[in-house]
Structure 1
Amino acid sequence: MNDLLDIQHIAFELASEKYALKISDVYEIIRLQQISPTHNSKFFLEGVINLRGKVIPVVNLHKRFKLIECARTKETRIIVVKSREEMIGIIVDKVDSVIQFNDIQPTPKVVAGIDGEYFEGIGITENGVISLLKIDIVLHD
């Protein structure tokens, strides 16, 4: 956990819950744009976008985490990440900030549940806690 303390993270919100990704996993943050639906076996794949001539799949994390879907607003963003040599967009309700944690704790087993492998730990801030995602596992499991 201590090796994560020296790393900056991008904090974001999904259904009023706070999450973060390592900034090194983030390629770009863009405004929500038209997503073309695709026929795919993964229930959480929203579709694809055209990002400067490159087709990027877009994942709906609300569906992935079985969260209540929020209305998309002017704050809704797509975070484009590089995961296993592939660019993938994830829809988030709001990007909050770049953050570096002073304390990161292991994810409690009771909280982790069946999807515990999705989390690297819980970042502690003066405003609360933030779940740190293992984006490769979230997108490819």
Structure 2
Amino acid sequence: MSSLQKEQYIELAVGAENCAIRIEEIHEIIKMLSITDIPFSRSEVKGVVNLRGKVVCVMSLRNLLGMPDEPYSRETRIIVVRYREEFVGLIVDKVHKVTTYEEIHPSSGSNSRSREAVFEGIGRQGERLVGILKLEEILGG
């Protein structure tokens, strides 16, 4: 049993994958905005947005997880997270809900740069299992 159980998470969808981010890492969730392109940037960097006077870099969580781009929908959101004293926007397909998990199991891919390494743990809610994203690995890798 982990002390992470009492923490709250935002559950979200990226393609067919359901993931979660600790709520304390999230600054805000906003609807899709017009994104200004940054020439010659990496493919996962979609550009920047002006968020109440602050320039925020926006990245595709799909691309960061190795998935291809999809057209944005009415449910597409930008999750603005705090990362190394900066704000970074992550484009996700859908935000589901705020939740807690009955149990948090450690992720199996802790030492490798594998797809599993992007998860800090697996949250269990009944029969459902949801990967809890490790922002340091996703944004710093």
TM-score (norm 2): 0.90
Count of aligned residue pairs for this structure pair: 139
1:15–1:68 CA contact under 8 A, matched in 2: no
Q: How does 1:13-52 map to 2 (within 5 A)?
A: 13-52=13-52
1:9 corresponds to which residue? 9
3-state SS of paired residue (1:139): helix
Are 2:135 and 1:128 aligned? no
2:77 corresponds to which residue? 77
Question: Where does structure 2 lack aligned partners over 5 or more consecutive residues?
Answer: none
Write out the 4+ residue segments of structure 1 that deviate beyond 4 Å after TM superposition.
none
User: C-alpha distance in 1, partners of 2:27/2:40?
Assistant: 24
1:129 Cα deviation after fit: 1.3
2:107–2:117 CA contact under 8 A, matched in 1: no
Structure 1 residues 84 and 52: alpha-carbon distance in aligned structure 2, compared to 1, 3 A threshold: same
1:37 Cα deviation after fit: 0.9
Question: Where does structure 1 lack aligned partners over 5 or more consecutive residues?
Answer: none
3-state SS of paired residue (2:132): strand
1:140 Cα deviation after fit: 1.7
2:68 corresponds to which residue? 68
Counting aligned pairs with the same residue, the percent is 35
